[in-house]
């Protein structure tokens, strides 16, 4: 992946299409119960910051899953597409929505303490518990708002 490259993505049926510039070539996994229920497994995602542009979005739906975040999906085929801050300031996109998910390196896992014992990844990743992630998230938000 070339640095700063805008990548195209879409849902399974093509009713929702977007472009985004990933922050880097890394992908992460979220093991929280909401992501597991929403994605049918683990949510593997790419940080796209505020670069997400919806190019075809009449069938894009959002579900407000917390006081600050919402989850985007295709209302036609049901594809899990993105999680974003409700103000749109930060977006993480499903790695599988991009044409070539293999271009991203698997580097991080969050909510590791919520992961069921029934699976594990072989990759050597950086891992954060729910409390560690929420503390880091809060300090990032404080720095941006301060």
| Domain range list for the chain | 7-115+122-145
pLDDT confidence of residue 141: 58
pLDDT confidence of residue 145: 46
pLDDT confidence of residue 21: 97
E strands, 7-133, in order: 7-10, 17-20, 26-30, 43-49, 53-56, 60-64, 69-74, 80-85, 91-94, 105-110, 126-128
pLDDT confidence of residue 137: 78
Determine which helix (DSSP H) or strand (DSSP E) holds 140, and give its type and residue range: helix 130-145
Low-confidence ranges of the chain (pLDDT < 50): 145-146
pLDDT confidence of residue 146: 45
pLDDT digits (tens, 9 = 90+) for 42-52: 999 999 999 99
pLDDT confidence of residue 45: 98
pLDDT confidence of residue 143: 52
Of the candidates 130, 138, 39, 131, the residue with the CA atom closest to the CA atom of residue 83: 39
Domain 7-115+122-145: top CATH class: mainly beta
What are phi and psi for residue 52, nearest 5 degrees? -65, 125
Determine which helix (DSSP H) or strand (DSSP E) holds 130, and give its type and residue range: helix 130-145
List the Cα angle 37/45/132 in 5-degree steps.
Answer: 80
């Amino acid at each position: 992946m070339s640095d700063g490259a805008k990548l195209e993505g879409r849902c399974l049926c093509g009713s929702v299409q977007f472009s985004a510039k990933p922050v880097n070539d890394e992908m992460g996994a979220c093991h929280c119960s909401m992501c597991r229920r929403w994605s049918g497994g683990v949510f593997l995602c790419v940080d796209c910051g505020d670069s997400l542009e919806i190019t075809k979005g009449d069938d894009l739906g959002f579900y407000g899953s917390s006081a600050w975040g919402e989850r985007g999906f295709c209302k036609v085929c049901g594809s899990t597409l993105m999680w974003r801050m409700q103000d749109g300031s930060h977006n993480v996109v499903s790695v599988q929505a991009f044409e070539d998910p293999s271009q991203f390196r698997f580097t991080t896992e969050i909510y590791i303490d919520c992961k069921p014992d029934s699976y594990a990844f072989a990759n050597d990743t950086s891992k954060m518990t729910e409390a560690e992630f929420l503390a880091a998230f809060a300090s990032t938000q404080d720095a941006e708002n301060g």
